Structure 1
Amino acid sequence: MERLSQERMPLYEALKQHDSKRIAHFDVPGHKGGRGNKELKHFLGETCLRLDVNSMKPLDNLCHPVSVIKEAQELAAEAFGADEAFFIVNGTTAAVQAMVMSTCKAGDKIIMPRNVHRSAINALVVCGALPIYINPGINKELGIPLGMSVKDVEEAINSNPEAKAILVNNPTYYGICSDLGQIVALAHEHNMLVLVDEAHGTHFYFGEDMPVSAMAAGADMAAVSMHKTGGSLTQSSILLCNKSMNADYVRQVINLTQTTSGSYLLMSSLDIARKNLSMNGKEMFRKTVEFAQYARDEINKLGGYYAFAEELADGDAVYAFDKTKLSIHTRAVGLAGIEVYDLLRDEYDIQIEFGDIGNILAIVSAGDRNLEIERLISALSEIKRLYEKDKTGLFDHEYINPDVVMAPQQAFYGEKHSVPIIESAGEICGEFVMCYPPGIPILAPGERITEDIVNYILYAKEKGCFMTGTQDMKIENINVVTKS
């Protein structure tokens, strides 16, 4: 079969051909190209509604791709340097869960940092695997979790030689990377697979002078959130596999949870974004780094704020830094990150990615403009001038080491009862508590609730963090495991 060029977009081309025909649709979706829902058509556009179609032979089937989706996935695998690529339309959450569930069964151990996204722990709740958590390093000045030290990984491997896999964040939300190459070498030496949550690392595959990507480091699987920094539509993602994995089995695992009605809008956006990255990625991410570096330099001149970057690298828990990330420490101006986040949105019409109790993150891309970068810098300067105060009393850390006393699945599905969070210290948590974004649990099922954690939750709520995870929508009560 003739090899396709990276300039091709098989799925996009098939959709365009389909759209050019005068097909009478007696299939779903019921809006019939927007004619059955004119408000939606006027809101999203006629083309969008016409291309929102269902699986059919000319357009292939995401659950069992044999033609244009298969070709689009093969081009994606080639572009990312992987042996296989799967289009994911349930978000990178589904890709992370597919990685864990493809490598672990009930009772199997998996080594992972505790500052993983909730999707990884959700996978443990579903499949019954047991986490061996590595506490990430902590930068005490910034209060943020870092990467995994190679020494800590080695100790976890030696203490749990029967573990099936190691999951690594590459990078963290803040832009911190572990020594992925060394971790892969260690894991493979001990017959363990390496799974990489690369939700924020699409650009590692296409930019120049970037931290190493999962596939280049020899990892076995990687979940890549194309919509975050790759330019595809929200909720679209790619799962990459190397030849160490049985791709047909991985596809079966994906199909356990992924929709059978894959969105062609999402899939075609992956196809188009892959082509764009292949053709223009170097220039796109060169521009992104220039924007981010300019913003860092100017923000650091303001005083108080600290836009951190590669100077944090220590060759271990901060092996490398993602220069596209504009991570800014705010506590020295007397404001929690979430307070700066809210002020930027409410007073200056600037929406950044997230704010936590000590930092903010602004996602920068080649789609930004100089004017918008200057608006952000100016707004931060004015916030400092108008709202700066004494930092006394501000929390100084984002991460609290967990005390895991029960498997997540056992705690989540076990008998539980509700207690006020303020009175929950000493209990075993039966659900999740987290700020979103970034979606890293403060508490996960099976962990002991401590006074430190209770105080953190109350503080985060007081500062205005958006809390999620508990059955109680007001985040006042928490389900804890009932003692037998």
Structure 2
Amino acid sequence: MPPGKGKAMGMTQANAPIFEALRRHKQNNVVRLDVPGHKGGRGNKELRDFLGADCMAVDVNSMKPLDNLCHPVSVIRDAEQLAAEAFGAEHAFFIVNGTTASVQAMVMSVCKAGEKIIMPRNVHRSAINALVVCGAVPVYINPGIDKRLGIPLGMALEDVRRAIAKHPDAKAILVNNPTYYGICSNLREIVKLAHQNGMKVLVDEAHGTHFYFGENLPLNAMAAGADMAAVSVHKTGGSLTQSSFLLCGKDVNHDYVRQIINLTQTTSGSYLLMVSLDLARKNLSLHGKEIFAKTLEYSTYAQREINRIGGYYAFGRDLINGDTVYDFDSTKVSVHTRAIGLAGVEVYDILRDEYDIQIEFGDIGNILAIVSAGDRALEIERFIAALSEIKRIYAKDSAGMFDHEYINPEVAMPPQRAFYSEKESLPVEASKGRICGEFVMCYPPGIPILAPGEQITDEIIRYILYSKEKGCFMTGTEDMSVSRINVVK
């Protein structure tokens, strides 16, 4: 086999090439006349004492024995090949700029300025950021809405079919698999429709690492035949924060994809992040079934017990309708809170401030807890007990609460044109009817309420003000207080 193609020679999933190379490097006691300047921690004792000497010793720069992330020819190449094999992909890239970089590389690999891409509007801001950078034009599909929960669902297959028929020149379709709430679209059929019409399928699988290794979970992107997938291994796979894989399927020129990645990814790839991906892949390959069986055991128990409290609704597979909720990620503990008179973000704040429990996020009507095999049964019980007590102490009438998370946008111009246009700053309350020139979102989850190029409506203004009032962490605007918004002149 030629270098860089196929399986790493003589290696199995029990190997971890980057980890093994770093261990050899550490044992060699090499004189450090290169960067980083902390010199294995000796130059910054407080940091070394905090992170640990072992960690600092392997925070190193690219060198021949350790390969180079921008142009891997040895240990990183071998690690990529093992990752591709583990995930059922043709090729895998180590990404150290977060899954944001993976998503942007996917979009920029298939779309040039002026070309169209079909996507649901409830994408992460990273996808729309990619459009701002490369000048591609979105064709938004408004996701289904669950009226009881007020949350966006997946893409209806008929909506995808209509978008393809109306925009046959689109280059690709981007799909969330799953959404932040755990909802999956009919990925296999979307892939089939796209490929029949000469379009690529890109999958934002930031929250779907476990789909590749667990059982009784939704279909993963590579198994569905998707062309590329951005997989945030740090979220549910055990690697360090900011580490990610970008996976490529068949008929993707991965050498070109690497060039696109190298346009924006650092030339000083963190070996701490890379080795975490390498060891996470090894661990998942060898033990993933058991890991995610335990995760499902915890999440299923939590959902059942939370629903027994009353008032809360821990939703799950009962939402499946064969279309806009084609499948559901049962590892997600997504809980609707509005019936007890509290916004999700209010429950989120109370859990943290009063009970020392940090969950993933709270929005206007829901909370999300990320559960994994790394949790302990006692912690799950503590979370359930805290929710019960919060209901007893804080529950109130739900009248007057904002009842939905997603507002269909009115797109007036492409994101790149709006973002780089001449703008003026207005108070949010005075911006009705204008075209937004920046982002407005609650983080997490980082799905824009407003994106560049969208019309500002009364409903959106009310939503922004209500979110601020309830304590959502608002981001995206130039004005750090999110009291003013930049609009196109």
Aligned to 1:274: 281
Query: How far 1:316 sits from its partner (Å)?
Result: 0.1
Partner Cα separation in structure 2 for residue 243 and residue 249 of structure 1: 14
1:409 positional shift: 0.2
- The superposition leaves residues 260-301 of structure 1 with CA deviations (integer Å, 9 ceiling, x where unpaired) of 000000000000000000000000000000100000000000
Name the residue aligned to 2:86.
79
CA displacement 1:56-86 (0-9 Å, x = unmatched): 0000000000000000000000000000000
1:342 match: 349
1:150-180 Cα distance to aligned partner (Å, 9 max, x none): 0000000000000000000000000000000
2:4 paired residue number: none
**2:312 counterpart (305, 321, 327):** 305
Q: Distance in 1 between matches of 2:306 and 2:486?
A: 42
Instruction: Name the structure 1 match of 2:388.
Output: 381
Give a deviation string over 1:91-138, Cα, whole Å, max 9, x none. 000000000000000000000000000000000000000000000000
1:263 alignment partner, one of 247, 270, 294: 270
Of 329, 332, 339, which aligns to 1:332? 339
Q: How big is each residue's C-alpha offset from its partner over 1:224-269, in whole Å with a ceiling of 9 and x where there is no partner?
A: 0000000000000000001211000000000000000000000000
> Which amino acid letter does the alignment assign opposite residue 100 of structure 1?
V
Correspondence list, 1:150-229, <5 A: 150-229=157-236
- In the alignment, the residues of structure 1 paired with residue 174 and residue 250 of structure 2 have an alpha-carbon distance, to the nearest angstrom, of 18
Q: Which amino acid aligns with 2:416?
A: Q
| Equivalent residue, structure 1, for 2:450 | 443
Matched residue pairs, number? 482
For 1:104, which of 87, 92, 111 is the aligned residue? 111
- 1:389 and 1:22 map into 2 onto residues whose CA distance is 63
Deviation of residue 22 (structure 1)?
Answer: 1.5
Please state whether the residue corresponding to 1:19 is helix, strand or coil. Answer: helix
Amino acid at match of 2:435: I
Q: Of 127, 138, 157, which residue of structure 2 is paired with 1:120?
A: 127
Instruction: State yes or no: 1:133 paired with 2:150.
Output: no
Structure 1 length-normalised TM? 0.99
Q: Which runs of 4+ in 1 moved over 3 A?
A: none
Unaligned 5+ runs, structure 2: 2-8
TM-score, normalised relative to structure 2? 0.98
1:363 pairs, out of 370, 393, 400, with 370
1:427 equivalent to 2:402? Answer no
Instruction: Compute the displacement of 1:318 (Å).
Output: 0.1
Percent identity of the aligned residues? 74
Could you give the per-residue CA deviations for residues 333-387 of structure 1, whole angstroms, max 9, x where no partner exists? 0000000000000000000000000000000000000000000000000000000
**SS of the residue 1:365 aligns to:** coil
Matched residue type, 1:154: R
Q: Match of 1:4, SS?
A: coil
Q: Give the Å deviation of 1:209.
A: 1.1
Matched residue of 1:480: which SS?
strand
User: Following the alignment from structure 1 to structure 2, what is the Cα–Cα distance between the partners of residues 186 and 264?
Assistant: 40
Say whether residues 1:284 and 2:286 are aligned partners: no
Secondary structure of the residue aligned to 2:108 is helix
Q: Which amino acid aligns with 1:214?
A: A
**2:6 aligned residue:** none
The equivalent of 2:152 in structure 1 is 145
Gaps of 5+ in 1: none
